[in-house]
Structure 1
Amino acid sequence: MPEPSQPPALRPVPPVSPPDTPLYQQIAQALAQLIHGGTLKAGQRLPSVRETSVAHGVSISTALQAYRQLEEQGLVQARPKAGYFVRRPQRIAQPGLSAPPQRSFLVERQTRSEGFAMLHQPGDRASFGGFAPEQSTLFDEERLRVAIGRASRVHRHSLTEYNKADAGRPALRQAVARRALHLGCALDAAHIVITASCTQAVSLCLRAVTQPGDVVALESPTFFGYLDLIESLGLRVLEIPTHPATGLSLPALELALDTQPVKAVLAAPTLSNPLGSVMPMNAKQKLVKLLAQRRVPLIEDVVFNDLLAGDERRKAAKSFDTDGNVMVCGSFAKTLTPGIRLGWVEAGRWRDSVASHKRLQGAATPVVLEEALADLLNQGSYEAHLRRLTTYMNQRRNEARRLIAHHFPPGTKVSNPPSGDTLWLELAPDLSAMELFRRCATEGITFGPGEFFTATDRYRHCLRLNFSGPWTTLEMQALARIGEIARQMLQENPEKKRA
């Protein structure tokens, strides 16, 4: 059997450009020659950013700049938690569709050891680019420790055995079914599949209903993790306009279904990421009916629904499903404990296919964590915890909105979601959020530029701020500083200031 393909050992190569050419360009040109010459072949993984920096005696940020330039030239692509790969020849997309998205992530898209390296340098820094709660003060660590300890004692033999329950432990599936009642869903626990995360649940659903090259419709802007996932599966994106308050545009979706070969719709009708929009209940019902008539499956992400505890809008679109056309996916990583990233899916008509895909991938989930999570969900304090968490995040988000109003350029538009931990900002049309990001990054301040949340060239003047991390005076000062730098950029270009 041939040895698996490994990235070649990277050695410094003679410069192929004048001595005064920036180092990152020299490295990029050297690697480009290896790609064009066939030494680095399509689909092959490149050496890591850290390996490149060591081999050439440059900083990680310089090596990352070189890879970014190669990505902009269409020679390489970044894959989440995998690294950089030589890009295969791009297929021609149908009119109105995007090709699999090829974007450059400086914050979340790279592995923690590489992409985060230029951000996690010594010294005080502030990040608004997160995607999961990071503060222990938001969660009860002691209760979590006790639950895991209890599960470890009761199910200690599982630590030395494979989990034979492919779909997940009955206790957790039953707990998920009970929790789904708060979403308006009467789910059969026997039809629920436990997954390693909500993202894996969505992935299993996509695998069950699509083939490489198929078209998936989703909200625009959308969660960048969706775009990464769709790219990794060889699917194409069709972005549907989304209102910051009322969510996915049903007329636009209907037009897309009439004119494009849409095989699935992936959406978060409740507290979409990054807008935080919530579709009205009648719109959710119309969405389910529209897709059922077209026999197009809806993959619904309900990971944030519980942040609307006590609000009727918490109800999932799945609650209107009568023929199994909605595949609902969720987890409790955003509301109960980020440390247990177990997800779940009830896939309707495709439940057997989803269970089969999980089994074929060998993606068994740990018994101890499943039992511990079931224990936590069955405790009567979860709803009270949700109300406290929602109140806390709303206070934090309102504080951020006040800082933005005071420090950001006049005319900056800010979303006003009913709950959640993100805000979406729209700056002056000619102000580049990516350039703002680069300037802020030099001061150790990061956020999500709008380009991260689309497979097109939209939202270049937009950005997402996430407040799930620490929230201290340092973060408040950093948020004000982003606004100050944006003001400086406008002052540098009078035309942008007038826009």
Structure 2
Amino acid sequence: MKKDFLYSEITNNIANKIKLGVLKAGEKLPSVRKLSSQHGISINTAKRVFLELEGQSLIQPKPQSGYFVSDLAFFKLPLPETSSPIPFAQNREPDELMNEVYSTMGRNDLTLLSIGVASGNLLPLAKLKKEIIQATRGLSEGGSEYEPLQGNIKLRRMVAARSLTWEGNLKEEDLITTNGCMNALSLCLMALTKPGDTIALESPCYPGILQLAVSLGLHVVEVATHPVYGIEIEALKKLLPQIKVCLLVPNFNTPLGYCMPDSSKKEIVELLTKHEIPLIEDDTYGDIHFGPERPRCCKSFDKEGNVLWCSSVSKTLAPGYRVGWVAPGKYKEKLLRLKLVHSLSSVTVVNEAIANFLMTGRYDNHLRRLSKTLQENYQHYALAIADFFPVGTKVSRPQGGLTLWLELPHEIDTQTLYHYALKKGISISPGRIFTLQDQFHNCLRLCISLPWSEQLRLDLKQIGSLAKSLQQQPPSLRTAGRACS
């Protein structure tokens, strides 16, 4: 385990230097033998480091010459700034704008760059249909009976087995099935908080989590977040006396797409455990990694049962099936009582079908194809943004997941841009819906999970052209599209 930790540390260190521009495009890296000698690792481990970096398109091999930092145009785009939310600011939910953006779900007349789910064209829909039929035939009473309160045994067994890949070492009895990850997060927050309590979240943050917290009467503290490293631990430390729960998305957070380094995950788990503050970990995107290996979760560093690990197949396999789960650690009994009251049972046939799909190995084959496609899409999107968007546009460099975060020049209001783009048949997500504070007005999120095409490239060109036209307008017109703030 120590060797694996060192390998991850070396890989992340080089990756971060490339992403931050410390190592420049075209710069030669140390040889495999030299890297091995510098860090006291085996030749095979050194090769593994380079393979992972190559898998992330961060480096490229040149025959007879070694490895070099990739000379790709989108690496020249600057990174978004570390967010700077105001501690304990008054929450101001952008509910009207949020509702407007999410009301476009399912519309076939729009290019939906606003909804962070994989396109049906990228999902194994025919195979899933067969699994549903087989599950109906194989289950007692055709799957019409209630499941055990803790959930489908086969599904829990498969999720537990898969946790070995990220050193979670879960057992089937550690898990409770839920109706998607949002249901898992909801049960966790209801079990651990009461109205008026304060919770800490990343900034920017997934709008669904913000809405959930507000609906439960919780006060949200947004924590400064770096686009590569994730949440700023020093900023979190200053908030600890006042917060009841911390909820994070450490692996391929939406909208930024970063993967928090293992050392940070370990430090946060130890810090929160010391202060007896539960950590709810949303790992919905953890399986969608652009590198060759799935990242570890905060849960893998949890020795006291203080981390409640939540995940699902909603972003990877079947959004509408609503299959999720939680490993709640020492809070298991609290969550079981809440599940009994709020949902009693998950959908029997669907959970059985997903369990069978995981068991056959088809899921891993699907994930490899999906991750490869999304990584290629990210590169296509970034190159289009470099070509068509205003000078000064900053772009995240996701290491996995489904989305890109853009920071446009300050004079461009993306709420206005949203309304202009909608008239052209394109839906984007303005940055204001990813916060409860008065920030991110010049930011936006794009979903990268639509199949790449020339039409999609033209749609991105259209957004870039609209952004440039906004930049040229008088200040009074630039914010004309703000329906709320």
Tell me if both proteins adopt one fold, taking TM over 0.5 as the criterion: yes
> What does 1:77-156 align with in structure 2 at a 5 Å threshold?
96-99=87-90, 101-106=92-97, 109=99, 115-116=103-104, 120=107, 124-135=109-120, 137-155=121-139
- Which residue number corresponds to residue 184 of structure 1? 167
Q: SS at 2:184's partner residue? A: helix
Query: Does the aligned pair in 1 maintain the 2:308–2:328 contact within 8 Å?
Result: yes
Q: Deviations over 1:27-64 (max 9, x none)?
A: xxxxxxxxxxxxxxxxxxxxxxxxxxxxxxxxxxxxxx
- Which residue number corresponds to residue 254 of structure 1? 237
CA RMSD of aligned residues (A): 2.2
Q: SS at 1:277's partner residue? A: coil
Query: Does the aligned pair in 2 maintain the 1:193–1:344 contact within 8 Å?
Result: yes
Note closer, same or farther for the CA distance 1:427–1:310 as it changes in structure 2 (3 Å cut).
closer
> What does 1:45-444 align with in structure 2 at a 5 Å threshold?
96-99=87-90, 101-106=92-97, 109=99, 115-116=103-104, 120=107, 124-135=109-120, 137-155=121-139, 157-161=141-145, 163-258=146-241, 261-308=242-289, 311-312=292-293, 314-444=295-425
- The Cα shift of 1:323 comes to 0.4
For residue 425 of structure 2, what is the amino acid of its counterpart?
A: G
- The Cα shift of 1:98 comes to 4.3
Over 6 Å off, 4+ runs: 494-497
For residue 99 of structure 2, what is the amino acid of its counterpart?
A: R
Q: Deviations over 1:338-383 (max 9, x none)?
A: 3422100000110110111111113421111111111001112322
Note closer, same or farther for the CA distance 1:495–1:229 as it changes in structure 2 (3 Å cut).
closer
Q: SS at 2:221's partner residue? A: strand
- The Cα shift of 1:131 comes to 1.9
Note closer, same or farther for the CA distance 1:418–1:362 as it changes in structure 2 (3 Å cut).
closer
TM-score (norm 1): 0.75
Note closer, same or farther for the CA distance 1:149–1:164 as it changes in structure 2 (3 Å cut).
closer
Of all paired residues, the percent bearing the same amino acid is 36
Quote the Cα distance in structure 2 between the aligned partners of 1:116 and 1:423.
19
Q: Deviations over 1:295-339 (max 9, x none)?
A: 000000111111127645611010000000000000012222334
Note closer, same or farther for the CA distance 1:266–1:357 as it changes in structure 2 (3 Å cut).
same
For residue 276 of structure 1, what is the amino acid of its counterpart?
A: G
- The Cα shift of 1:100 comes to 5.0
For residue 438 of structure 1, what is the amino acid of its counterpart?
A: H
Quote the Cα distance in structure 1 between the aligned partners of 2:178 and 2:414.
35
Query: Does the aligned pair in 2 maintain the 1:449–1:463 contact within 8 Å?
Result: yes
- Which residue number corresponds to residue 80 of structure 2? none
For residue 161 of structure 2, what is the amino acid of its counterpart?
A: R
Q: Which has the higher contact order (CA 8 A, sep 6+)?
A: 2
Q: SS at 1:318's partner residue? A: helix
For residue 159 of structure 2, what is the amino acid of its counterpart?
A: V
Unaligned 5+ segments in structure 2 are 1-85, 479-485
Quote the Cα distance in structure 1 between the aligned partners of 2:404 and 2:465.
18
- The Cα shift of 1:493 comes to 3.8
Unaligned 5+ segments in structure 1 are 1-94
Note closer, same or farther for the CA distance 1:415–1:105 as it changes in structure 2 (3 Å cut).
farther
Query: Does the aligned pair in 1 maintain the 2:228–2:258 contact within 8 Å?
Result: yes
Quote the Cα distance in structure 1 between the aligned partners of 2:274 and 2:401.
32
Query: Does the aligned pair in 2 maintain the 1:430–1:496 contact within 8 Å?
Result: no
Query: Does the aligned pair in 2 maintain the 1:100–1:234 contact within 8 Å?
Result: no
For residue 249 of structure 1, what is the amino acid of its counterpart?
A: E
Quote the Cα distance in structure 2 between the aligned partners of 1:189 and 1:486.
50
Q: Greater CA radius of gyration, 1 or 2?
A: 1
- Which residue number corresponds to residue 30 of structure 2? none
Note closer, same or farther for the CA distance 1:309–1:184 as it changes in structure 2 (3 Å cut).
farther
Query: Does the aligned pair in 1 maintain the 2:199–2:247 contact within 8 Å?
Result: yes
Q: For this pair of structures, how many residues does the alignment match?
A: 393
- The Cα shift of 1:430 comes to 2.3
Query: Does the aligned pair in 2 maintain the 1:309–1:386 contact within 8 Å?
Result: no
